[in-house]
Amino acid sequence: MIAIAWVALAALSFQIIAALILQRGLRKVGSEQVEHETGAQPFLSVLIALKNEEQNILGLLTGLDEQDYPNVEFILVDDHSSDDSLAILNAFSQGRDHFRVLQTEQEHARKLGGKKAALQTAIEAATHPFLVFTDGDCLPYDTHWLRRFAKFFATGSEVVIGSGFHRVGDGVVGSFYASETIRIAAMYHAGIGLNSPYMCVGRSMGYTRQAFDRSEGFFPHADLLTGSDDLLLQTFEEGTIIRSCPLALTVSDAPSTWNAWARQKSRHLGAAPRYPRNIASLLMLYDLSLLSMPIVLLWSFWMGVPTMSWVLPLFIVRTVLSASNFQKIINLAGRPEEVIQLWRWEYPASWMNALISIAAIWMKDKAWKRNP
């Protein structure tokens, strides 16, 4: 019983310390969000790689075309879609000179896996030094999405990390997933605030061509189908100016079933084995501490009042701190009131995500296969 008590104390303490560290990182991000208007409007290249997105692409194209930023080109690379994605792209780009439609270069397809080949094609085709990325199933949250990237680039940033949230679904799975996306956003933005960038979302990010050229690009991880954004972020050379911009927000639909969640998580975990060992170890400990929480609570109830008298207060402290961080990232991202209710799902969603993360290791990624 003493051993279990120590495990319970360690798990709860780890959760509380992690929440305090995240709080510190988010405060720093918030203090750096003061925009310094220079009047400059640098030219941007917005690059999108897509595959079989006929259900989503028209909404994205419309959202991009409605951006209130003048100095921009849009390069859309279709990665050999088997649906009508390419036809939709070509039809929409007619008469819009700032939209260019390409297909993945065969040379890149031979050397790089999946989406990375399409991204490499887009980067080489871009004519401007500042590159912004999103995905085919996303929508810019508002018409100022590009202007926020431009302001950060104009003030010296070389890498700008935005936010990618999911719409709140009607069912439990969608609500859980949307909540978990916000919690993860708090983690990667806090990491940047603490000068330890380890993760980002390709749904909303940007970097300069110079920063990309100074890195090794996608080729060191050519064998992976996913995870290129995280691994690229981690390998930008020391001294690269990386800043967090939660307000640069895109939204997309959340998975509606547990199997879809697991498949998506499996794709996201593709790069995890190549994270730096210290980051991977901390993330694993975090998930293990989450998974232990129900056991800790059940054990404390079984042991009675003496044990509950210290377990429950610590768990409440952990919950309050986590809810505070949840609210902080929502405020930083300017998300509407409709998602604020999701904070109550923060713990069960994060626990379920940790469980699915373990299960997803055994699932094979089939979403974006290497082209023949």
**Half-sphere exposure at residue 121, Cβ-oriented, CA atoms within 13 angstroms:** 28
CA pair distance 149, 91, nearest whole angstrom:
28
Among candidate residues 207, 221, 76, the one with its CA nearest the CA of residue 131? 207
CATH 3.90.550.10 fits 40-292+300-372, yes or no: yes
Strand 159-166 with 242-252, pairing: parallel
CB 219 within 8 A of CB 112: yes
Token pair in block for residue 99:
């939209």
pLDDT in tens, 236-279: 988 999 999 999 999 998 887 877 777 777 666 667 777 888 88
**How far lies 121's CA from each of 57, 81, 371, in Å?**
19, 15, 14
**Residue 371 predicted with pLDDT over 60:** no
CB 364 within 8 A of CB 310: no
Residue type, 170: D
Strand 130-135 with 72-78, pairing: unpaired
pLDDT in tens, 169-228: 667 888 888 888 888 999 999 999 999 999 999 999 999 999 999 988 888 777 776 667
Among candidate residues 234, 328, 215, the one with its CA nearest the CA of residue 276? 234
Among candidate residues 141, 140, 145, 173, the one with its CA nearest the CA of residue 160? 145
Neighbouring-strand partners of residue 206: 132, 160
CA pair distance 366, 351, nearest whole angstrom:
25
How many of the other CB atoms lie within 10 Å of CB of 62? 11
Radius of gyration for the chain, computed over Cα atoms and rounded to the nearest angstrom: 21
pLDDT in tens, 326-369: 889 999 998 755 555 566 666 777 777 777 766 655 444 444 45
